[in-house]
Amino acid sequence: MIFDVVRKKFVVLTPEEWVRQHVVHYLISEKKYPLSLINVEKQIKLHKTTKRYDVVVFNSDGSIHLIVECKAPKIAITQETFDQIARYNFVLNATNLMITNGLTHYYCRMDFEKERYLFLEDLPAYLD
């Protein structure tokens, strides 16, 4: 078990949780996102089902800047993974998406007009 600073409680360190913790650390230390704007593993309503996102980063105005989908390192990132985060984004309307298994990372920016995502080399740093 480890202490999760964002959730302020102890959590079991599963392989996916290991990835999530490293992503949160990366967002805070490398990209300078404030801890106060990061939300971890909360429920959302998607059609008639309840789902849980891994990490969401808000803008200071309350809109969503980034959704992160984390997989365990042994899980390959597939089209199914992109479809999952795209479904979440129908509800959340994030500007940016990140998908990672801790070894491979994909970053996208949403183009809402053309209903597609554009791949990025890296996530933008916090600018607010």
- The residues spanned by each domain of the chain are 2-120
Instruction: Tell me: pLDDT of 68 over 90.
Output: yes
Tokens of 93: 């309307």
Query: Is residue 68 classed as helix, strand or coil in its secondary structure?
Result: strand
**DSSP state, 37?**
G
Of 11-15, 79-83, 101-105, which gets the smallest average pLDDT?
11-15
Instruction: Tell me: pLDDT of 72 over 90.
Output: yes
**pLDDT recorded at residue 7:** 54
Regarding beta strands 96-100 and 64-70, do their DSSP bridges make them parallel or antiparallel, or are they unpaired? parallel
**pLDDT recorded at residue 50:** 75
Cα separation, 106 vs 95, whole angstroms: 14
Fold held by 2-120:
tt1808, chain A (3.90.1570)
**pLDDT recorded at residue 52:** 80
Instruction: Tell me: pLDDT of 82 over 80.
Output: yes
86 within 8 A of 108, measured Cβ to Cβ: no
Query: At a CB cut-off of 8 Å and minimum separation 6, what does 26 contact?
Result: none
Mean local confidence (pLDDT), 1-10? 57
Length of the chain (residues): 128
**pLDDT recorded at residue 1:** 55
Instruction: Tell me: pLDDT of 113 over 80.
Output: yes
Mean local confidence (pLDDT), 47-66? 86
**DSSP state, 102?**
S
Query: At a CB cut-off of 8 Å and minimum separation 6, what does 73 contact?
Result: 15, 18, 19, 101, 102, 103
Q: What is the percentage of the chain residues whose pLDDT exceeds 90? A: 56
Please give the order of strands across the beta sheet that includes 96-100: 38-40, 55-58, 64-70, 96-100, 105-111, 116-120
